[in-house]
Structure 1
Amino acid sequence: MAVLPAPLMSLTWTDHVTGRQGFLVVDRLVRGVSSGGLRMRAGCTLDEVTGLARGMTMKEALHYDPDRAQGRYIPLGGAKGGIDCDPRDPGSYELLVRYLRAMRPHVENFWTTGEDLGLTQDLVDRAAAEAGLVSSIQAVYPLLDDEASARERLADAFAVDVDGIGLDELVGGCGVAEAALAALDRAGVPHAGTRVAVQGLGTMGGATARFLSHAGLKVVAVADVKGTVANPAGLDVEALLGARDSYGTVDRAVLREEDRELPGDAWLSADVDVLVPAAVSYAIDAANQAEIRARWIVEAANMPVRPEAEELLAGRGVTVLPDVVVNSGTNAWWWWTLFGDIGADAEDAFAYTRRSMRDLVERMLARAEADGTSPRAAAHAIVADRLPVIAERFGWYR
């Protein structure tokens, strides 16, 4: 595991109206800026946000290869925000605005943020404007060669629509799917007919299911807050995605006669090869890991597998592809686009994401094999190699 200093900054905010708490952890600044989304969920804690911020430092480092010619995007530091509130709460939006108003000096100066669990980018943008911010990523603007062109390019990219779904909602799932496909390819497992279960059909889980289905894999179970929907012969992924609400909950009216409704935790024990937890953190623990029958767990969510569960899974021959690699594509896409490495084009974005994610996953798995460690340990080892180089070249704070 990469040995890193304590977080640079850790804040707990208490809302004067509701008494609810919000958190901001800045793990590192690189070139004076940090990157990391803002989540909202009931039960969110400072420890959770601290772990997520450390993960963002790692994701940024993993997308910087000091031995290769780099694009325009240079890594930032890692950070994360969190609010302890159910996003379905009637007062959640006003709470979000008050949180962003309180965090405004940090967002203006060194924390770039965006959507995460429980929040959409549209909602973050609207609340940020109401809180008096120019943008949720305005702290990065001084690093751009041409701010006006960069902002226009990112706005154009967010306006790209692919079959009724925004490019920004798809690119992260494209990266998760490519991570899974790279692992299958390395193991010599054909895509066609490989069975998949996905927990969560929000932005990340829905897009992952879509790309895996397009690659020939068979999505046989998906879970949302209402429960699990399963079909051993394969679900109609497009129909399910088209029947979601803004929280990723599927309207059961679209289910076919052969689709079955099962309890919420049935996705865990589904007879699949690939399991994709794409919803909440800490979904898989030491107790429920025993139900898992999959060969691979692909962490689309942040921190869905507890460390003790991962150790037990490894003992049973189950490989966990870690979140710091698997779901890093969304964050990287923002910066590839803003800095000008890619344009506002879906095929360009998907191709760049696939190449980058495949290279990273293959490098991680090769390191794990060479070192005799887990993929997560290998990812951390790569981070440990790269962070000192980043610090030497760009500094932690300046």
Structure 2
Amino acid sequence: MTTPFLSLTWTDHVTGRCGFLVVDRLVRGVSSGGLRMRPGCTLDEVAGLARGMTMKEALHYDPEGRYVPLGGAKGGIDCDPRDPAAYGVLVRYLRAMRPYIESVWTTGEDLGLTQDLVDRAAAEAGLVSTVQAVYPLLDDETAARRRLAEAFAVEVDGIGLDELVGGCGVAESVLTALDRAGLPYAGTRVAVQGLGTMGGATARFLARAGLSVVAVADIKGTIANPDGLDVEALLAARDAYGTVDRSVLRPEDREEAGDAWLAAEAEVLVPAAVSYAIDSADQALITARLIVEAANMPVLPEAEELLAARGVTVLPDVVVNSGTNAWWWWTLFGDIGPAADEAFAHTRRSMRALVDLMLARAAADGTTPRAAAHAIVAERLPVIAERYGWYR
């Protein structure tokens, strides 16, 4: 594994809390990756996520597209986003990172943060935009910024397009795997950990595709119903952190322990909340045959080995949750317009092709989907570097 282009630790002079930035790689002098805020966030965690972003960018490389993949990066702040001091920490972090955001690092929402909050804090920190480093690469900056702003203003049934595209990509990953296995959508049961941005949108798209969402977990515990939950009612009753107001539950809905989602009687498991959610002990509880990583790094490597040994397929985060990042750039560079239908169609087409490619490669090589994704990246990175320069 190569050394990152940039790795730094910041300490907030007011609260003593730490923040991190890792730029794994540059392409045309720019990198891409979100900013997360969670208690216990570490530099090693951020470095792993930055490397994952390099992979996500490379996996979406299309030599015919306007969007040219960037390098990978990630930011992280060790702070509970619910802490009253969190917003001040965020503003000071962005102010400290301003030179990097202005020149080499494009960023946006990730775990614990919303795009609205990041944008508000960025403006307070004196930034034009959290993606301004990419502006010099655009053919028409004014038109591109207007297109992205219009896309962010789109809502579909009460949820912003920027929230939905990631879940659309996750759902399409699930549906592609089911199609390849010859399994029907109707009757396929799903358990989702996390009903925030990614988990909530994923649950909506899977329910609308005909699957039955039988369990969802949030910070308060697991909500379960073997006959299927009313996903839209749960989405409407969420707070800003994805926590569901239990007063909307129906009499037949059950409240269970926080880790009950792991053992839910379901064919598909979607961890869509925190990293490192499934360890060696947790994996023994899982009866699902397909795990689809909507969160970043939710399945620990040793757990994945044990799961593979008993025939459980894990679709890796670097592919599954890459749709949000790609949608930003497809929109900004002009591969698609700001309309929801266009965004969903492009996301579905791209994600289906990518998941198909990964699963076909895994079958041909006799490896896991993750190993196949890594192999595809290893082939594409030198091609990107050869075309755009070996900047690190």
Give me the TM-score of the superposition, normalised by structure 1: 0.98
Cross-structure match for 1:161: 155
In 1, distance between residues paired with 2:14 and 2:130?
A: 23
Shift of 1:395: 1.7
Determine whether 1:181 maps to 2:193. no
Alignment of 1:298-377 (within 5 A): 298-377=292-371
2:193·2:271 contact (CA, 8 Å) conserved in 1? yes
Shift of 1:73: 0.4
2:274·2:295 contact (CA, 8 Å) conserved in 1? yes
2:22·2:73 contact (CA, 8 Å) conserved in 1? yes
Which residue of 236, 250, 255 corresponds with 1:256?
250
Cross-structure match for 1:83: 77
- Point out where structure 2 has 5 or more consecutive residues left out of the alignment: none
Q: Residue type of the partner of 1:349? A: A
Cross-structure match for 1:394: 388
Shift of 1:396: 3.5
Cross-structure match for 2:217: 223
Give me the TM-score of the superposition, normalised by structure 2: 0.99
Which residue of 195, 200, 206 corresponds with 2:194?
200
In 2, distance between residues paired with 1:65 and 1:363?
A: 14
- Point out where structure 1 has 5 or more consecutive residues left out of the alignment: none
Alignment of 1:130-169 (within 5 A): 130-169=124-163
Shift of 1:65: 3.9
3-state SS of paired residue (1:115) = coil
Cα RMSD between the aligned structures?
0.7
Alignment of 1:109-128 (within 5 A): 109-128=103-122
Cross-structure match for 1:235: 229
Flag as ranges the 4+ runs of structure 1 deviating above 6 A.
none
Cross-structure match for 1:44: 41
Cross-structure match for 1:170: 164
Percent identity for Structure 1 against Structure 2: 83
2:275·2:297 contact (CA, 8 Å) conserved in 1? yes
3-state SS of paired residue (1:229) = strand
Cross-structure match for 1:384: 378
2:62·2:68 contact (CA, 8 Å) conserved in 1? no
1:182·1:361 contact (CA, 8 Å) conserved in 2? yes
Shift of 1:5: 1.7
In 2, distance between residues paired with 1:317 and 1:6?
A: 34
Shift of 1:397: 2.3
In 1, distance between residues paired with 2:247 and 2:139?
A: 50
In 1, distance between residues paired with 2:167 and 2:279?
A: 24
3-state SS of paired residue (2:190) = strand
